[in-house]
Amino acid sequence: MSNHPPKMTAEHVNVFYGDKQAIRDVSIAIDQDNVTAFIGPSGCGKSTFLRTLNRMNDTVPNARVEGDIRLDGQNIYAPEMDVVQLRARVGMVFQKPNPFPKSIYENVAYGARIHGLAQGRAQLDAIVEQSLQRAGLWNEVKDRLGDSGTALSGGQQQRLCIARAIAVDPEVILMDEPASALDPIATARIEELIHELKGRYAIAIVTHNMQQAARVSQRTAFFHLGELVEYGETSEIFTNPREQRTRDYITGRYG
């Protein structure tokens, strides 16, 4: 496993939407060097939990998060934490590609510019190119950076969103069903991309597709009814899970 201390840790996390408890006492450590997959049936809390890791739940009315969540040992819910800065360090890619209605170039450059990561045009150009390279999109768009991001295909849009997340030099990338709206070829390219980004960024991915979790992750967490039922090596979870609930879910006997 990893030789580094965990990139992110969560201890005894509870999340409530009003009176309803969505996450129950979840503790987990996210490695720097591995891709961690969150799986579980709809409504199990996996997306809710993912969103606590960069405080996206802050934007949900009535949502309340308890417990201790740390990034490199630093409490991300501490009052002195700058949430905008946090979301640059912990980037997010969503289910539906959501490029800004601007040029491809601007989509990638935007975050880097507002975070003051580039001095001058040449540096910004370099960041855009490098981010698109890492997202595996550069060769397809380098001659039309001025075209609208929304004119790209779905798979390209999703890679554009990944490039946008990468451009602000994050440490962690959270992905919430990043390929569920894509066809199998575009999905394979996203999965290949995740594989290439592994190690450079700590990655956590929520997916409904168990085969995808098996393909892209090294560690898998199974959530059920807001609890973390089992967390371990992906190869163990899919060949020899310890918990009955995990086994029933992954073998298609759930419910």
For another protein, which is the closer residue by CB, 176 or 230? Answer: 230
Q: Which of residues 171-190 bind another protein (CB under 8 A)?
A: none
Q: Is 20 a residue that touches another protein (CB under 8 A)?
A: no
For another protein, which is the closer residue by CB, 20 or 253? Answer: 253
For the bound state, the minimum distance from the C-beta of residue 211 to another protein, rounded and expressed in Å, comes to 6
Q: Is 211 a residue that touches another protein (CB under 8 A)?
A: yes
* List 45, 91, 155, 241, residue binding another protein (CB under 8 A): 241
Q: Is 238 a residue that touches another protein (CB under 8 A)?
A: yes
* List 137, 210, 221, 229, residue binding another protein (CB under 8 A): 210
Q: Which residue has the tokens 């990893």?
A: 2
Q: Is 235 a residue that touches another protein (CB under 8 A)?
A: no
- What is the rounded distance in angstroms from the CA atom of residue 204 to the CA atom of residue 223? 14
For another protein, which is the closer residue by CB, 18 or 43? Answer: 43
For another protein, which is the closer residue by CB, 90 or 210? Answer: 210
* List 89, 102, 200, 247, residue binding another protein (CB under 8 A): 247
For the bound state, the minimum distance from the C-beta of residue 198 to another protein, rounded and expressed in Å, comes to 23
Q: Is 240 a residue that touches another protein (CB under 8 A)?
A: yes
| Backbone angle region of 252, left / alpha / beta, with phi > 0 → left and psi within -120 to 50 → alpha | left
Q: Is 252 a residue that touches another protein (CB under 8 A)?
A: yes
Q: Is 153 a residue that touches another protein (CB under 8 A)?
A: no
For the bound state, the minimum distance from the C-beta of residue 2 to another protein, rounded and expressed in Å, comes to 24
For the bound state, the minimum distance from the C-beta of residue 213 to another protein, rounded and expressed in Å, comes to 11
Q: Is 121 a residue that touches another protein (CB under 8 A)?
A: no
The per-residue DSSP string of the chain comes to --SSPPSEEEEEEEEEETTEEEEEEEEEEE-SSSEEEEE-STTSSHHHHHHHTTTGGGGSTTEEEEEEEEETTEETTSTT--HHHHHHHEEEE-SS----SSBHHHHHHHHHHHTT--SHHHHHHHHHHHHHHHTT-HHHHTT-TTSBGGGS-HHHHHHHHHHHHHHT--SEEEEESTTTTS-HHHHHHHHHHHHHHBTTBEEEEE-S-HHHHHHH-SEEEEEETTEEEEEEEHHHHHHS-SSHHHHHHHTT---
For another protein, which is the closer residue by CB, 89 or 245? Answer: 245
- What is the rounded distance in angstroms from the CA atom of residue 177 to the CA atom of residue 46? 11
- What is the rounded distance in angstroms from the CA atom of residue 1 to the CA atom of residue 148? 42
Q: Choose one: 87-95, 125-133, 183-191, 242-250; the region binding another protein (CB under 8 A).
A: 242-250
**Which residues of the shown chain bind another protein in the complex (CB under 8 A)?**
210-211, 238-241, 246-248, 250-255
